[in-house]
Amino acid sequence: MALRNIVTEGDPILRKKCREVDEVTDRIRMILDDMVDTMHDADGVGLAAPQVGIMRRMFVAEPEPEQIYYFVNPKILSQEGEEEGDEGCLSVPEMIGTVVRPTKITIEGLDRDGHSRVYTFEGFAARVMCHEYDHLDGILYPDKALKMYHVEDQPEQEETEEA
């Protein structure tokens, strides 16, 4: 596997809507594996394709250690509730923002092998999936943030997503 460069805020690629993946091929699997390695190397919990300069609708996420999810052409089927929480982003370094996200979502997409999967996530995992999904539509979390902090000025919180 290879580490890929993470695109940061200001690069216009992060503001574009991604195209669907036509077919899950060996090349797509290689990109997904590279994204996992890149996410791990950067200590993130999620990484979307546009964050590594690829304009395709896919992301990887690991909201809990050793529990990696692969999403190709994801669609959020339903969402419930809402809660505020702090988020960071590998493409928006040194910043944290408070964002309102659903407390529960159901999402469908193709996995690493091209099989259709449907998952329901709650709490932090739902937040991670929504954050990554937004990247596919050119949305960064600061667009939705109620307030932003420099990482050094962040109030004490339990978990912050770096995706």
Task: Please compute, for residue 32, the number of CA atoms within 13 A of its CA located in the half-sphere on the CB side.
Answer: 24
Active site residue 94: no
pLDDT in tens, 70-89: 999 999 999 999 999 999 99
Domain limits of the chain?
Answer: 12-162
List the CATH code of the domain at 12-162.
3.90.45.10
Report field, pTM of the whole predicted structure over 0.85: yes
Q: What is the pLDDT of residue 149?
A: 92
> Which entry of 87, 132, 161, 162 is annotated as an active-site residue?
132
40 pLDDT above the threshold of 80? yes
CB 49 within 8 A of CB 55: yes
62 pLDDT above the threshold of 60? yes
Among candidate residues 10, 5, 123, 109, the one with its CA nearest the CA of residue 59:
109
Provide the β-strand partners of residue 161: 87
Largest CA distance in the chain: 44
What are the φ/ψ torsions at residue 110 (nearest 5 degrees)?
-85, 145
pLDDT in tens, 11-20: 999 999 999 9
Identify the band that residue 155 occupies on the pLDDT scale cut at 50, 70 and 90. Answer: low
CB 30 within 8 A of CB 56: no
157 pLDDT above the threshold of 80? no
Q: What is the pLDDT of residue 12?
A: 96
